[in-house]
Amino acid sequence: MGFSDYRTALVTGASSGIGAATVRRLRAEGIEVRALGRDARRLASLSAETGCRACALDVNDLGALTRLAASAEFDVLINNAGQSRRGNILDTAPDDVDTLVDVNLRAVLHLTRLIVPGMASRNRGHVVNISSIAGHYAFGENATTFNSSVAYHATKAGIHSLSQQLRVDLYGTCVRVTEVSPGRVATSIFQNQNAADNPDARFVGGFETLQSEDVADAIAFAVGAPTRMNVATIEIVPTLQVVGELRFASRSEAARLREMRSGADNA
């Protein structure tokens, strides 16, 4: 198995970043790729560059997803589309919760249920779910990171659980499942990260950060592995990034935080 036995792939979130890099990588291996994304202009450019078939649609459009899933026998599904919002549970906006659940989790579940049964019946296929270290670790704001969204963490943890359960559901078939869990990657999650007036620029410019091609290469390693080998989980982080930390707030610090929150509530 591997590249020689796979013919057609579907990559979501293909307009830029990890998705576009993955399209390029799979096309270089001779696989026909349907590139799904919302930015029709970028997809057209990617199609002209790589020969992929552009599919400009929203992953929240279930009817469009259903028609796309029925349009080909997909051997490889790369669930990459995702969004992020900043904020903890004390100030998360309802629209942010809905958007993250819809894009990061619901769309993945729908595409998986639409495409994987065909893989199982053909006894051939590979699902790659792009999660995040945010789905495995809790982290707050410090000098080198911003406080990520609790909803983002929750949806990525859902992708981790989905990947594990999917292997159980596909037991006895030759359909493989891989979860790729990246750390910080220089993608559009940091919008215009190189702009001097963007406060998020320090999260990329000042650090050695993974590139989209690094994640695409990890995906290619898993997909190209021999049939006896299922690369179940890949955690890929910058060499200089360490995940996890242990912090204690002193009594005075905790009191200060309570006073700040109380003042904000009364404002």
Active-site amino acid positions: 152
CA–CA separation, 188 and 185 (whole Å): 9
CA–CA separation, 240 and 204 (whole Å): 12
CA–CA separation, 225 and 235 (whole Å): 17
- Residue 164: count other Cβ atoms within 10 Å of its Cβ: 13
Query: What is the per-residue burial (b if ≥16 Cβ within 10 Å, else e) of 225-258?
Result: beeeebbebbbbebeeeeeeeeeeeeeeeeeeee
Q: 92-98 contacts: CB < 8 A, separation 24 or more?
A: 92/149, 92/150, 92/151, 96/149, 96/151, 97/151
Is residue 194 within 8 Å of residue 206, measured between CB atoms?
Answer: no
